[in-house]
Structure 1
Amino acid sequence: MKFDKQLAVIIVLVSLLLTAIAISFYFYKEKEKVAQDNNRLVNVYVAKNTISKDTLINESHLKKTVIARQFVLTKPLLKQEILGKYAKETIYQNEAFLKEKLSNKIEIVEEKSLDFKYNSYNMSMKLFENPNFSLEPNDIIKIISVYQKGKDVNNYAVQYVAKNIKILGFLSEGVESEKALYKKKIKKLVKKQQVEEIINVKADEIILDIKEKVLLKLIDDYNKGKQLWMVKSKIEEDDEEKKEEKPKKIVQKKKLVKPVSYRKPTYPIKWYTPKDKTLTKTATISYANNNDKKTVKKAKITEGYKDECSKTDKLLIGLSHNIYLRTKPSFRAKINNKIHKNYIMSYVSKSKIQPDWYILCDGTYVNKKDVRDISFSEYKKLEK
């Protein structure tokens, strides 16, 4: 049989054509499959409202929505992966829940030691009429307290000016920050699409290096209704420092023996033991077989702090002559008790809201400027 070259070429071309059609059909089906997968609807849980840092997440914080798979930037978390977790940082409204922002427990951030000369004190930005978010650490500011003169809302007078206040840093969402205003990237749901959005985050508090008497004066002015304003400035020579620089005349004085009443008081080492609380509760007992017969009983319930306040693993010693124990971590809070220097106090922890305050065994608060940590062995040496 004679070989037909023309027929062979035709067979090869038909084979190539059929192969090309088969490959095209395969890719068409794959493309259609991908398109169907992208358009498949998936459930995504987002924040119903803005959730603060360290909040325990429950059903009320979740909002369920359905969006196309192609608009989901990250793998959506299941409901059971979100509930019962703590927010590591603020989760904003309509922001999708991410594993990176959730934790099984509240994370304790170690405090950084700040280099301050006088007192390190946090002031809320809300206290100021003109919070300046362009400030940076080591900037110097003045704080001016002003008051309205008469009924004219445009007529103000200066009450007090605090000079040479150094900025140590800022607190944003309970975490120390180097900037008063910074940008943050979040994933948010907008018109059924998950998009990345850059938002501005402002500092909640400003950390100042401030003299105690200046701080007390500003707090007193604010409590009396004065407005506080901040102004960026340069270091100015203080009037008090000028007075100190003036040469004083040397005058020889006779040595006077101080009376007993002027001698410096001594403070013995003493353990802080708060008084027990006694509550009286009344109960009425009714008899089932006689509705008219009732018995009224009173009982006294004593709430003691003996066990909690006798612990020796976390101790403080008083440094100031007068130490005020307050009901809340604030100088404006009510004074619950007053103790003196060299009192030994058992404490629970530092306040998460105000790290400058310790929580004592009876639930009261003491400022760190009035105390310092002490070990039990050091206490026993002092006691001797």
Structure 2
Amino acid sequence: MTDDVFEPGPDLTPATIRALPKVVLHDHLDGGLRPATLVELAEDAGHTLPETDPDALATWFVTAADSGSLERYLETFAHTTAVMQTPEALRRVARDAVMDLAADGVVYAEQRFAPEQHLEQGLTLQQVVDAVQQGFDDGVAEAESNGCTITVGTLLCAMRQADNAPAIARLALENRDRGVVGFDIAGPELGFPAARHREAFELLRAESFPVTVHAGEADGAESIWGALQVGALRLGHGIRLLEDVELPEHEPLSHARPGRLAQWVLDRQIPLEVAPSSNLQTGGAASIAAHPITTLRDLGFAVTVNTDNRLVSATSMSREFSLLVAEADWTLDDLEAATLVAAWNGFAHRDVLERIVAEQILPGYEAVRAG
């Protein structure tokens, strides 16, 4: 997998796609570092990287993640989290992330990270959150000075293979009026069901706090059902939901027969946070053309397009859009529909989302149609 230049056609050129207003709900802070920043921070921290040239390092990450295994994919994060252990580093990485997203046309972003992975040099959980939030604020202000308006919400992740979820849930609640808009569990999915963190989810449910859960990426329907049972309002990836849909051979998709789980997700329009390039790397799809996102879209599921980890997949929202246009025949209408699904299902307050849709997304697409 390489970061090639894609030519989606005369109506949707790369420049046009880059200019479209975008929403990303699933983007990991520690998976989106600039290679040059990673090299500099590693030198400061005394951490040895597999490559010290930024371009070579960027290539290494993609190659290392192209294993077809979620577990191997996750191993690459040992290098990024190693350099994100001080307030200064966290603030810089967070600022860079917002600036890069804004430059790519993103108008609303939810950035997620696991505070428990940044404590090696003595920071407290709250100090980690404070440093990251300051970086987000810096990035929003600098983007604004460059003529780009972006709104950022924070999702705090608990690592599903650890036992810190209740503490992270409390941390999220303590910061719900300071930028944190939701909670997630991340890490290896297979063998670590959402139910093992039931205490955290019950705490969040009691406080009416939004939850998304990684599910249906490296595990199947049972994992998705477990995520819904603990209160997930969105599904991180969710592409293996198709395992619960009987697809007809040589017949229209209108003849498809969803199982009870898939029908539940469909009827309630539970959003799927799909990351096409990442799913290719972890074995969830063989190609963009055959990626489940298009079938799920055609069946009426609430699909959204996401980057997951911009460094690890050498990607951006513009690249994900371009891939879908070039290889899966997505149209401008398809991109707008997925963007609006994402916007209306963000965890920010409704008035914030209404403003973004009315003032940024709809006018942006109207401008493209007007030529």
TM category (shorter chain) comes to under 0.3
TM-score with structure 2 length normalisation?
Answer: 0.18
Structure possessing the higher relative contact order (Cα contacts under 8 Å, 6 or more residues apart): 2
TM-score with structure 1 length normalisation?
Answer: 0.18
